[in-house]
Amino acid sequence: AKKAMYQAEPLLDQLATRVQKAAEDRTADVRALATTQLALTGGLALLVLGVLVPALWVTVRSILQPLEQAIAIAHRVADGDLSQRIAVQGSREVAALLGALSSMQASLRALVTDVQQAAEAIDTASAEVAQGSQDLSQRSEQAAADLQQTASAVAQLTEAVNDSERAASEVAGLA
């Protein structure tokens, strides 16, 4: 049995060496596979980032650009500039906001036009009232002048009647 064990020992050593070499080969294969998978994963991540980052940038710009336009329009309207035409494009929320700003601007423009027309009507009416007042003043001055002339004529007539009465009294006293 010892002899068989001595004879089996080199075989066992040889088997252990082969198992160890197979294990080292498998370990090297696993490392190579892991390195390849890591490289593929990294390449895929770069590819995804290369596609996602520009897509995300385009998406953000598509949202921010109309919002910046809406903010600029709101500032112009707040400053009283109702002359700019608001272009509504798209069908998303930002386009709805621009549509609302456009409606608000049109309403404000109509309101300003109505106020301007009312102010012009008031200006015309006040000019007519001023003209009427001036005409009335002139007629009042003319009536006052005519009344003064009438009073002067009555005074002269009264003096003439008094003179005639005195003259008649003198004539009656002589007679």
pLDDT tens readout for residues 94-153: 778 888 888 888 888 899 999 999 999 999 999 999 999 999 999 999 999 999 999 999
- What CA–CA distances, in Å, run from 125 to 35, 76, 99, 122, 157? 93, 34, 39, 5, 47
pTM of the model: 0.47
Task: Note the pLDDT of residue 127.
Answer: 93
The predicted-structure confidence for 26-59, as pLDDT tens digits, reads as follows 999 999 999 999 999 999 999 999 999 999 998 8
Sign of CA dihedral 111, 112, 116, 117: negative
Q: What is the Cα–Cα distance from 138 to 131, expressed in whole angstroms?
A: 11
pLDDT at 93 over 90: no
- HSE-up of residue 92 (Cα within 13 Å, Cβ side): 7
Task: Note the pLDDT of residue 133.
Answer: 93
**DSSP secondary structure letters along 144-166:** HHHHHHHHHHHHHHHHHHHHHHH
Task: Note the pLDDT of residue 51.
Answer: 92
Q: What is the Cα–Cα distance from 89 to 2, expressed in whole angstroms?
A: 96
User: How many other CB atoms sit within 10 Å of the CB of residue 86?
Assistant: 18
* 121-159 as b/e: b if 16+ CB within 10 A: eeeeeeeeeeeeeeeeeeeeeeeeeeeeeeeeeeeeeee
Task: Note the pLDDT of residue 91.
Answer: 61
Q: What are phi and psi of 21, to 5 degrees?
A: -65, -40
- What CA–CA distances, in Å, run from 86 to 28, 46, 90, 100? 68, 41, 13, 10
More confident residue, 19 or 62: 19
The predicted-structure confidence for 69-79, as pLDDT tens digits, reads as follows 888 888 888 88
Task: Note the pLDDT of residue 24.
Answer: 93
Question: From the centroid of its chain, how far is CA 12?
Answer: 89
